[in-house]
Structure 1
């Protein structure tokens, strides 16, 4: 795969830019694992983000009913279209543009080697849509934060949000040696299965952000230190509000509290703030 990738890029005079996340998979075994994990059929419409020269797009097209391939780089997209035409592959719609800004056509599965710099915004954009499952490649560190549970060193805001949005399964790790150009860190393939989303408001997001700025501190102290993320109350007013919250939660360290407890905390806080201003 490396020789084929280099041949295509050299022929078109393309130099890949790692800063844009242009690290292409060059290992057939990993490619096959991704395709098998997606469990594709003729009934599936697959969304692929960061299609590149079609390393993943082409086998997706051979296994699914339709593929929507998004590629931001116009020159790379032109190569992809040329390759698809040469192979007489007609079930791929190539969209040239920034996936973070585009309106996605309808799809029921996502399979992508994501450009790592947009991992977070793209993941949450996808999770706002209705779909069956997603097989996505991330930087290993990001993937570990996605699956982390309370008490884990990688537990983070991302972990909390993923708890409410999807079932997250780490499928397998991917060595940095199977990409060209070689990235500095390893990757992992994750399976996402959407949950029935819990409704929460902006305050929950603010509380979560405030807490994880100090995840090693007790909840009480983390809220005191970052209450400006939630509201502009002064120090004494903060103390009064925080003293009325569930003290069992307040006494725990942020890293130890479950996502459901954070949601409960945000609802309590919302009620107290309403009472304070009325």
Structure 2
């Protein structure tokens, strides 16, 4: 029985109707599945975290190659189907956790392999980067993946691009067409490899996060105007003080458009703002 027929059979026999609104698009292309697993470079020493495990399409081949798989699935009924499949196949190295991956505490893991529910792409990516792990092979909506690797000036360049620059090395591996899933999503997908690579602790700096958010709310505007329009994102202060702080920043940077700033320039602005705010309080 091929993967498509097998998936449909499991769903029908358990009276499960997939809900695209919940990101329940199941991979039915064995070639894509094989490429994902191969890209993870698993060994019998690895503990793999899988988010959005579903009925186990990816879980089962991961369990064949890894020491242990921690499979997170939010839908209780689907998680029960996964547990039953594991029991029927006499697979004992998979721990199924029922819960919202953005809310639960993860047990220890050293690799991540997931076909992520796209609605949690951003929060789960940043949550993963709070953990210490070797690498992750993740499937995202293609547009999201392109924003992860976008360079300054590119239409996809965003706060996400900047945060990823300081948090991880991201490599685009391959695209995945809608036809690889049931039900078919309306968008294309992409598989990426993510390797944590924190630089200078930038992503841990509160002012850096807030400054990035403020700038990219108005990324087509010049930096000075973008900051003034969204200074409340950085700190609640009166417009006069905000204008004074912004005017004290590097004139070469604040005259540029926000979308053209490289991540290091954004980091510099955020640290200058932090110093000026501290000086203003004293």
Q: Same fold (TM over 0.5)?
A: yes
Which residue of structure 1 aligns with residue 251 of structure 2?
247
CA contact (8 A) 1:173 1:187 kept: yes
Which residue of structure 2 aligns with residue 53 of structure 1?
55
Instruction: Determine whether 1:230 maps to 2:273.
Output: no
SS at the partner of 1:15? coil
CA distance in 2, matches of 1:210, 1:235: 15
**Normalization by structure 1: what TM-score?**
0.98
CA distance in 2, matches of 1:243, 1:196: 31
Which residue of structure 1 aligns with residue 76 of structure 2?
74
**For residues 160-239 of structure 1, what are the structure 2 equivalents within 5 Å?**
160-200=162-202, 201-239=205-243
**For residues 132-151 of structure 1, what are the structure 2 equivalents within 5 Å?**
132-151=134-153
SS at the partner of 1:85? helix
TM-superposed deviation, 1:197:
4.5
> Deviation per CA, 1:113-142, whole angstroms, max 9, x where unpaired?
001111111111111000000000000010
Distance 1:197 1:96, change over 3 A: farther
Which residue of structure 2 aligns with residue 65 of structure 1?
67
> Deviation per CA, 1:81-111, whole angstroms, max 9, x where unpaired?
1111111111111111111111111000000
> Deviation per CA, 1:41-73, whole angstroms, max 9, x where unpaired?
101100000000000000000111110101111
Question: Which of 28, 38, 41 is matched with 2:40 structurally?
Answer: 38
Which residue of structure 2 aligns with residue 100 of structure 1?
102
SS at the partner of 1:204? helix
Bigger shift: residues 134-143 or 243-252: 243-252
CA distance in 1, matches of 2:113, 2:199: 21
Which residue of structure 2 aligns with residue 118 of structure 1?
120
Considering only aligned residues, what root-mean-square deviation do their CA atoms show, in Å? 1.0
Structure 2, unaligned stretches of length 5 or more? none
TM-superposed deviation, 1:198:
3.0
CA distance in 1, matches of 2:252, 2:104: 44
